[in-house]
Every structure is written in C-alpha cells, then in structure tokens.
Amino acid sequence: MSKIKSSFFCQSCGHQSPKWLGKCPSCNEWNTYVEELIQKEEKQGHYVSSSLRIAAKPTPIHQIVYNETQRIDSKDTELNRVLGGGIVPGSIVLVGGEPGIGKSTLMLQIAISLGNYKVLYVSGEESEQQTKMRAERLGIESQNCYLLAETNTQNIFKQIEILQPSLVVIDSVQTLQSSFIESSAGSISQVRECTGEFLKYAKETGTPVFLIGHITKEGTLAGPKVLEHMVDTVLQFEGDRHLSYRILRTIKNRFGSTSELGIYEMTGKGLREVNNPSEILISQRDEALSGTTIGASIEGNRPLLVEIQSLVSPATYGTPQRSCTGFDAKRLNMLLAVLEKRGGFRLGVHDVFLNIAGGIKIEDPAIDLAVCASILSSYEDISISNHVCFAAEVGLGGEIRAVHKIENRISEAEKLGFKEIYISKYNKKGLDLSGFAIKINPVSKLTDVIEGLFG
Ligand code: TYD
Ligand code: MG
C-alpha cells in the first residue's frame, strides 16, 4: 500500500518543510508555502526502459575524446550561438519566458527545421491540430517532426521508446504530470519530479531535451527557478511583447559562455534571426537629437552598438525622479553623482530618464561614457553628431577607463559608418590604430570629453 503524505513547498525556491512556515528559511520570501500531496512509495521500475540505457563505466579523463563536431547544428545561428556552438547530445535545456513571448514558436521552428533528425514535440498546452496550424504559419516543412499531445510522463516515455527520437521538446514543463507523484500539474514537487525524469532520460540515452517553462511574476505556477540547478542550460526568451524584437539570453550554460545573446524578430511567419543587430538597434535618423548617443557594447563575443536616449528636465517635485529602462538604476545614480561632483553639473535638481532603444538590457560598463554624454547632451540641449560613438567605462574619479575587446568595438563602429569614436587613453596603449579609417579620440578624463563635445 502506498502511503500518501503531504508536505509544504516554498513556491519561490522549492524548499520543502513538513509544516507550514510564514517565512522561507532558504530564500527569505514571505507567504510562499503551499501544501502539496506527495506519495511516498518505492518507485517501481525505471522511468526509462533498460533497452534505452547505455551502460556507463568510469573512464580516465585523458582517454575521453571530445570534439566540437558532436554537437547538433540546430540550423539556427542565434540558438547555436547561445548554446555555445550547437546542441550538446544528452543535454537538458530549459527555455523560460513569460507567456506569449514566443517560446512555442521558437521551439517548433527549430523542431521542424532539424529535418535530418527525428524530433518529438510534446505539447501539453495545445492539441496536435493547433500545433499543426502554427507550423503552417511558419511555412516550413519536415518529414521527421512528430507531434504528441500528452502530459503524463510515463506515456511520453512509452512513445519515446517506440519512436526513438534524436531530440525531444516538451511544451511546457508545467503541464507535465508524473504518476509517481500525487500533487497537481504545475506544483513544485511535480515539476521537479518530471524534470528529474527527463534529466535521467537525457543523460542515459544521450538525447537532448528542451523543456519550455513559464515564468510568472506572482509565482502561481512553479517558477523554473527551482529547476535551474537541475538542468544544464537555462535560456531566457525575453522582450517587450509590444515590440517585435525578442532576445534569447543564456542564464546558465554548462557547455559555453553565459554572456551570449541571440536576437530574433517576430514576424507574421514566425521568428526571423537578426544577424546584424546593431543595424536594428540604432534608429535610422538623419539629424542629431539632443540626448541621443551611441555606445559600443559587447554581448558575449559580439559587438553591439546601442542607442542611448536620455531626457533631463528640471524637477517639479521635491525629490527628482530617476528612471531607466535597459540600464542598471544604481549605475545611473553613480554616473549622475560623478557628473555632479567631477563635472559641476547640477543634476541633483533634475529629473533624469534614460532608455536603451530596442528594449534591450545592457550590463556592459563600456556604455558608461555614452550614457554620460547622452545625459549631458540633454542637460545642455546640445545635440551630439550622429557620426560619433563611445566605448569606455567611467570611474568614480571621473576618469575614463579602458574596456576589453576595444578593436572589435572600433571595427563594428567603423563598419556601421561612424566617423569618430571616443575611447580611453589607456586602451590606446599597445593598440594598432593604423588599420582604422575612423577617427579615434583617446581621452583620460570626463572633462576632456566635455570639452571635445561641447567646446
Ligand atoms: P507563442 O509561441 O505561443 O508564445 P509562448 O509559447 O511563449 O506562450 O507565441 C505567441 C505570440 O507570437 C502570439 O502573440 C502570436 C505571435 N506569433 C507571430 O507573431 N507570428 C507567428 O508566426 C506565430 C506563430 C506567432
Ligand atoms: Mg506556448
């Protein structure tokens, strides 16, 4: 006889407790405990049948041959890039994102375009007909993509055993239900159990698995946060739903860098890869506007020129407002303090609004100088020529600091037709500038930049 037991789980981090707690001792969140039924039962059999399993034995590390060609080319350069060069066999990838952002579209598109591999697309949210309708919209075809509308993991594994796919996509992990556990689909224990089963399957058979997971701010569905520890790679699909650009970001990657970024555009016929993002991030304008500057940042290995817009206006209320989109608010406050102290600008009595165009988030400190120039340009209401761009970090002393990969930034700026770039004087050392046609302005202090721009 199985013994049914209940336990309490924190919906935010997945911490388990035998009794209800007001505050989670693990993540310090309040009111997050929910009772879930769990079945304490000796699990009968295995999730994966023995015929699918490859017997493992220890191998000395020097004998293990590793070659890049083992990765599966997903036919999507943006996805290949964020995964670190293709899909790793036996890896388990979690694709998170808010509802409606395009996760199902992206994964279906990849499933269909992998024509040479047998792909199983399991949808627990949509019927086979609905998925087919979506596929028709995408306008691509494959003889090797199989759809399955199922939520029970045991049934899915039965079908997997018959079909023997080379890749499995689960849409979504929150709809899965394992018979080994009593609680309802989408609960922390259920999501964790189902992911565990697929993890085991992926590792034992070497089949890559993509799990789609929803993120909700309220945490009504078990957030994929709990799963981040379990999976190999976590990708986040983000973007403003009202804008057509979508960004695929790596949050965690056991097989590559976490700073990579993939950019897509949502069109009427699915997602289109954007291979030259700088062109879309910079608005095509003929005349220079005050408060608008271009910063040369690097995301992963890819240079990305971004447009920074700011608006500085006298504060009407007591406390001036500071608001920014796509840039760290604390860093903005720091830069404002530097401008006030080192440049003598009275920004403390002004509202400052900062926006990185295109709905993109930038963490690279190399856009500091562009941010400062943009704020000053709006403050003084003097526009900066749209042929000028910036690539340097600003320190607390108002000094202009060097940034990494400066050659890549300069050549990207040159490629996009910029005539002048401000960089740190310290970056110039050991740099061969003879190959560049663009004018390079090495500066060491914020005051030099102010003089250069505003005279
Ligand atoms: P979807 O992939 O269903 O989102 P998710 O799985 O993340 O919840 O994408 C839904 C949105 O994408 C929907 O608003 C319609 C839009 N869309 C397009 O604009 N073009 C298309 O070709 C497709 C298939 C969807
Ligand atoms: Mg979906």
Residue 62 maps to a domain: no
Give the pLDDT confidence score for residue 65 in this predicted structure: 76
Give the pLDDT confidence score for residue 386 in this predicted structure: 87
My answer on whether 233 and 287 are in the same domain is: no
My answer on whether 249 and 206 are in the same domain is: yes
Single residue among 275, 302, 321 that ends a domain in this structure: 275
Residue type, 59: T
Q: What is the number of other CB atoms lying within 10 angstroms of the CB of residue 322? A: 15
Residue type, 80: N
Cα 168 to ligand 2 centre (Å)? 15
Give the pLDDT confidence score for residue 422 in this predicted structure: 95
My answer on whether 206 and 230 are in the same domain is: yes
Residue type, 115: G
Number of domains in the chain: 3
My answer on whether 414 and 351 are in the same domain is: yes
My answer on whether 131 and 1 are in the same domain is: no
Single residue among 275, 291, 323 that ends a domain in this structure: 275
Residue 55 maps to a domain: no
Residue 266: CB within 6 Å of ligand 1? yes
In the three-class reduction of DSSP (H, G, I as helix; E, B as strand; rest coil), residue 144 is classed as coil
My answer on whether 285 and 213 are in the same domain is: no
Residue type, 65: V
Nearest CA to ligand 1 atom 1: 102
User: What does pLDDT average to in each consecutive run of 10 residues of the chain (455 residues)?
Assistant: 72 83 87 75 49 69 73 91 91 89 93 92 92 91 92 94 95 89 81 92 93 68 66 86 83 85 89 82 76 90 89 89 93 95 91 88 92 95 92 94 92 88 89 84 92 85
Among 234, 278, 271, which residue's Cα sits nearest to residue 83?
234
CATH number of 176's domain: 3.40.50.300
DSSP tag of 62: G
Single residue among 249, 275, 301 that ends a domain in this structure: 275
Residue 110 maps to a domain: yes
My answer on whether 80 and 181 are in the same domain is: yes
Residue 53 maps to a domain: no
Residue 90 maps to a domain: yes
Round to whole Å and give the CA distance between 62 and 69.
19
Residue 132: CB within 6 Å of ligand 1? no
Q: Which atom of ligand 1 is nearest to the CA of 98?
A: 7
Cα 170 to ligand 1 centre (Å)? 16
Domain span holding position 265:
73-275
My answer on whether 232 and 190 are in the same domain is: yes
Q: Which atom of ligand 1 is nearest to the CA of 138?
A: 22
My answer on whether 364 and 445 are in the same domain is: yes
Give the pLDDT confidence score for residue 237 in this predicted structure: 87
Residue 64 maps to a domain: no
My answer on whether 132 and 147 are in the same domain is: yes
Contact of 440 with 433, CB cutoff 8 Å: yes
Cα 44 to ligand 2 centre (Å)? 33
My answer on whether 6 and 103 are in the same domain is: no
In the three-class reduction of DSSP (H, G, I as helix; E, B as strand; rest coil), residue 137 is classed as helix
Residue 52 maps to a domain: no
Residue 445 maps to a domain: yes
List the structure tokens of 64.
Answer: 């293990």
Residue 104: CB within 6 Å of ligand 1? yes
Q: Which atom of ligand 1 is nearest to the CA of 134?
A: 24
My answer on whether 264 and 297 are in the same domain is: no
* Dihedral over Cα of 25, 29, 31, 33: its sign: negative
